[in-house]
């Protein structure tokens, strides 16, 4: 706790008064990042000036007002500060042989996050930074990024970068996000315009080809030669080709390239003509040992895969969990390429950034708590229940013996995530008398419509809420409110939801695949009781899920003491980057040029 206090630079205890159905509860609460700056106090908490002793932050009192579905502004849409996390708060491991690492990415949490990629780049970047390395991130300057969430934003370079026979005037801005230096690339054409990170009305493939080259062009113009260029996913997988076949001849000598594959399903399908647009000769890459998509050999025309090219051309290739590494070496069309590059292909489990995901300091929560004092979690649950119009134990039943388990599922609504199992869980949770909240966003209109129908059917009940949107703020509140977090993925390269859930005391119910198999171990598997931390099922059929959910619900309802112990145990599990950032550093060191 001392480390936590000093890392957060605040050392106070304050009182929060919770208005609790006309009863005022007094709770002692450890303060958070925002304590010393009243403007930054979570808007869910209202300072009572009348009871606040002047000049004393220590005894500041706040009142918590329960939200309601009738609130004009939903409780998760109030005005939270996003750029609140600084570089501090990470453990004090210092490396001696320091590196300059530049991540080139399509996502960055929290300002341009769609899924786990954004979390990973921010978390890994911050972990390396805290170990003493120099870390920069290069990101497209998406029109949808809220500039007020970027610190110290300034235009640093105006230059031109190549696209389809033209040199496009381009701006590079510098800013700081969550303590990390970010270079934002803003072309003057229509790329990256629109209301969301993906799905704008421009050609996405061409935009990322442009972005990848624009990053190298910027390094060339500014003379920056990092030790490591770390690219992610298909969007930036052309960069290793551009580096080794163009920029290494032009100017850049020092960098070596790491590619992390977060999800093998997206492989950057590209035609030779499209590849020409970034200045490479596409016809040179259509071979088995370079970038041809093996499945299209003999077709007219054959296609290229940027991801495959990235695997071939990078100095090291990482995927995001050891089990997913094994899975990808056994099945899928990229297996042959991965086997041929086996000596440079490794699995490193993702971590979570435990400063950003910390129930003891999280500004989005109505009240903070930690593994030693879990009481606040119950308030978080009631807060969400009241805000969404769900029955809550304190009011509706007034019977402490009735325990209503609340399970949340926070996910992109895509086939990979086990949509039929999510739909089945809704029915089952209702039957079992529990509560379920789905926070999900679909990118496919058919899936969106299906879940909208489900939302229309269920959202008036007292037990199910289906919220079809992306909300970082609400996701934090839901993890805190939840007794369980459901991750029924068909395949899952790593999965962060189960790790975040555990950090917030939500016990995971997961399918045994990829990174879920590496992080969740069944409570009823007595072969490794010290690892047991959740409920695991194997099949992709509904009965398999039934078994795990039944077991979880019975455990919750029939063994409250054991359950509470499990909650505390899962909160103490260290899934932070402290465990795995060192493996990336070792990898960087193994390929760097000294």
* Separation CA 363–CA 370 (nearest Å): 14
Answer yes or no whether residue 380 interacts with ligand ADP by CB under 6 A: no
If the CB atoms of residues 448 and 472 are measured against ligand ADP, the closer one turns out to be 472
Residue 241 or 439 having the CB closest to ligand ADP: 439
Give the span between the Cα atoms of 578 and 124, in whole angstroms. 9
119 binds ligand ADP per the rule CB under 6 A:
yes
Question: What sign does the dihedral 519-524-526-529 (CA atoms) show?
Answer: positive
Q: Does 175 bind ligand ADP (CB under 6 A)?
A: no
Residue 520 contacts ligand ADP per CB under 6 A: no
Q: How far is the CB of 206 from ligand ADP (least distance, A)?
A: 24
Quick one: which segment of 113-121, 144-152, 273-281, 505-513 binds ligand ADP (CB under 6 A)?
A: 113-121
Cα 491 from chain centroid (whole Å): 17
Q: Is 45 in the site for ligand ADP (CB under 6 A)?
A: no
List 137, 270, 317, 497, residue binding ligand ADP (CB under 6 A): 497
Q: How far apart are CA 594 and CA 592, in angstroms?
A: 6
Q: Torsions phi, psi of 25, nearest 5?
A: -90, 140
Q: Is 187 one of the binding residues for ligand ADP (CB under 6 A)?
A: no
Segment near ligand ADP (CB under 6 A), from 223-231, 298-306, 367-375, 437-445? Answer: 437-445
Q: Which residue blocks in 171-267 are alpha helix, DSSP H?
A: 204-222, 239-242, 248-250
Taking CB under 6 A as the criterion, the residue among 35, 229, 360, 410 binding ligand ADP is: 410
**233 near ligand ADP, judged by CB under 6 A:** no
Contact residues for 15 (Cβ-Cβ < 8 A; gap 6+) = 26, 27, 28, 29, 59, 60, 61, 62
- The residue from 95, 294, 448, 472 that contacts ligand ADP (CB under 6 A) is 472
| Closest to 240 in 3D by CA, of 344, 107, 104 | 104
Q: Does 259 bind ligand ADP (CB under 6 A)?
A: no
Question: Cα(123)–Cα(116) distance, rounded to whole angstroms?
Answer: 10
Nearest to 48 by CA among 80, 72, 24: 24
Mark residues 316-355: x for contact with ligand ADP by CB under 6 A, - for none: ----------------------------------------
Q: By CB under 6 A, tell whether 411 contacts ligand ADP.
A: yes
373 close to 28: Cβ distance less than 8 angstroms: no
Neighbour-count burial of 300, counting CB atoms closer than 10 A to its CB (0-12 exposed, 13-18 middle, 19+ buried): exposed
| Residue 495 is a binding residue for ligand ADP (CB under 6 A) | yes
Query: Contact between 448 and ligand ADP (CB under 6 A)?
Result: no
Residue nearer to ligand ADP on the CB measure, 335 or 471: 471
Rounded Cα–Cα distance for residues 536 and 515 (Å): 12
Q: Does 418 bind ligand ADP (CB under 6 A)?
A: no
Q: Is residue 95 near ligand ADP by the rule CB under 6 A? A: no
Q: Which residues fall within 8 angstroms of residue 590, CB to CB, at 6 or more apart?
A: 316
235 is a site residue for ligand ADP (CB under 6 A)? no
* Residue 126 interacting with ligand ADP (CB under 6 A): no
Candidate residues 344, 470, 551, 569; the one interacting with ligand ADP per rule CB under 6 A = 470
Specify the 3-state DSSP secondary structure of 482: coil
Residue 505 Cβ, how far from ligand ADP at the closest point, in Å? 15
Q: Is 227 in the site for ligand ADP (CB under 6 A)?
A: no
Element (H or E) spanning 486, and its range? Answer: strand 484-487
**Range in contact with ligand ADP (rule: CB under 6 A) among 47-55, 229-237, 407-415, 575-583:** 407-415
Q: Does 286 help bind ligand ADP (rule: CB under 6 A)?
A: no
80 near ligand ADP, judged by CB under 6 A: no
| Identity of the residue, 255 or 359, whose beta carbon is nearer to ligand ADP in the bound complex | 359
Rule CB under 6 A: say whether 441 interacts with ligand ADP.
yes
| SS3 sequence of 436-471 | EEEEEEECCHHHHHHHHHHHHHHCCCCCEEEEECCC
Q: Out of 475, 519, 566, 575, name the contact with ligand ADP by CB under 6 A.
A: 475
- And the tokens for 35? 């304590």
| Residue 276: its H or E element | helix 272-276
Choose, by CB under 6 A, the member of 440, 488, 514, 534 that binds ligand ADP.
440
- Looking at residue 295, the DSSP 8-state letter turns out to be G
Closer by beta carbon to ligand ADP, 125 or else 495? 495
Where does this chain touch ligand ADP (CB under 6 A) — which range of 27-35, 109-117, 332-340, 551-559?
109-117
Stretch that binds ligand ADP, among 269-277, 365-373, 464-472, 517-525 (CB under 6 A): 464-472
Cβ atoms of 137 and 228 within 8 Å: the answer is no
Residue 116 as a binder of ligand ADP (CB under 6 A): the answer is yes
Q: Which stretch binds ligand ADP (CB under 6 A): 149-157, 187-195, 361-369, 410-418?
A: 410-418
127-159 b/e (C-beta count within 10 Å ≥ 16 → b): bbbbbebebbbbbbbbeebeeebbeebeeeeeb
Structure tokens at 62: 């706040």
Residues binding ligand ADP: number (CB under 6 A): 19
Site residues for ligand ADP per CB under 6 A: 115-117, 119, 410-412, 439-441, 470-472, 475, 494-497, 500
């Amino acid at each position: 706790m001392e480390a936590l206090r000093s890392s957060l630079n605040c050392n106070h205890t304050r009182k929060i008064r919770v208005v609790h159905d006309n009863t005022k509860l007094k709770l002692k609460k450890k303060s958070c990042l925002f304590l010393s700056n009243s403007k930054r106090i979570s808007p869910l908490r209202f300072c009572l000036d009348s009871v606040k002793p002047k000049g004393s932050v220590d005894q500041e009192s706040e009142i918590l007002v329960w939200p309601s579905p009738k609130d004009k502004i939903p409780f998760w849409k109030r005005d939270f500060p996003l750029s609140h996390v600084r570089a501090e708060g990470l453990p004090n491991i210092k490396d001696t042989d320091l590196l300059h690492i530049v991540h080139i990415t399509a996502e960055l949490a929290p300002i341009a996050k769609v899924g786990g990629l954004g979390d990973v780049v921010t978390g890994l970047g911050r972990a390396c930074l805290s170990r003493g390395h120099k870390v920069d991130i290069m990101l497209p300057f998406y029109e949808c990024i809220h500039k007020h969430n970027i610190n110290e934003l300034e235009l640093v370079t105006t230059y031109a970068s190549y696209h389809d026979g033209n040199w496009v005037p381009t701006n590079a801005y510098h800013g700081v996000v969550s303590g990390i230096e970010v270079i934002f690339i803003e072309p003057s054409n229509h790329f990256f315009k629109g209301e969301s990170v993906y799905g704008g009305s421009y050609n996405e493939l061409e935009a990322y080809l442009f972005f990848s080259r624009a990053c190298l062009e910027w390094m060339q113009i500014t003379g920056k030669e990092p030790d490591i260029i770390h690219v992610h996913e298909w969007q930036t997988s052309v960069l290793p080709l551009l580096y080794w076949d163009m920029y290494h001849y032009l100017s850049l000598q020092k960098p070596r390239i790491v590619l992390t594959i977060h999800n093998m399903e997206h492989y950057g399908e590209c035609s030779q003509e499209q590849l020409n647009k970034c200045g490479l000769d596409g016809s040179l890459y259509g071979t088995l040992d370079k970038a041809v998509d093996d499945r299209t050999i003999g077709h007219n025309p054959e296609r290229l895969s940027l991801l495959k090219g990235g695997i071939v051309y990078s100095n090291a290739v990482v995927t995001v969990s050891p089990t997913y590494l094994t899975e990808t070496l056994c099945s899928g069309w990229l297996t042959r390429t991965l086997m041929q590059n086996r000596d440079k292909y490794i699995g490193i489990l993702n971590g979570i950034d435990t400063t950003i995901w910390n129930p003891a300091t999280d500004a989005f929560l109505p009240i903070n708590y930690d593994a030693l004092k879990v009481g606040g979690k119950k308030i978080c649950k009631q807060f969400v229940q009241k805000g969404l119009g769900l029955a809550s134990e304190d009011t509706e039943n007034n019977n402490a013996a009735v325990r209503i388990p609340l399970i949340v599922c926070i996910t992109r609504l895509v086939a990979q995530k086990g949509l039929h199992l999510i739909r089945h869980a809704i029915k089952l949770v209702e039957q079992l008398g529990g509560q379920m909240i789905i926070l999900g966003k679909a990118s496919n209109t058919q899936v969106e419509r299906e879940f909208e129908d489900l939302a229309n059917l269920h959202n008036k009940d007292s037990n199910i809420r289906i919220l079809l949107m992306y909300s970082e703020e609400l996701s934090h509140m839901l993890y805190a409110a939840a007794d369980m977090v459901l991750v029924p993925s068909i395949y899952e390269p790593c999965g962060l939801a189960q790790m975040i859930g555990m950090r917030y005391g939500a016990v995971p119910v997961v399918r045994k695949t990829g990174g879920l198999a590496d992080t969740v171990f069944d409570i009823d598997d007595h072969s490794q009781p010290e690892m047991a931390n959740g409920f695991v099922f194997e099949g992709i059929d509904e009965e398999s899920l039934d078994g795990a959910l039944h077991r979880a619900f019975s455990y919750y309802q029939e063994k409250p003491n054991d359950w509470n112990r499990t909650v505390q145990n899962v909160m103490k599990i260290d899934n932070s980057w402290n465990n795995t950032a060192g493996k990336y550093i070792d990898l960087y060191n193994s390929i760097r040029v000294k």
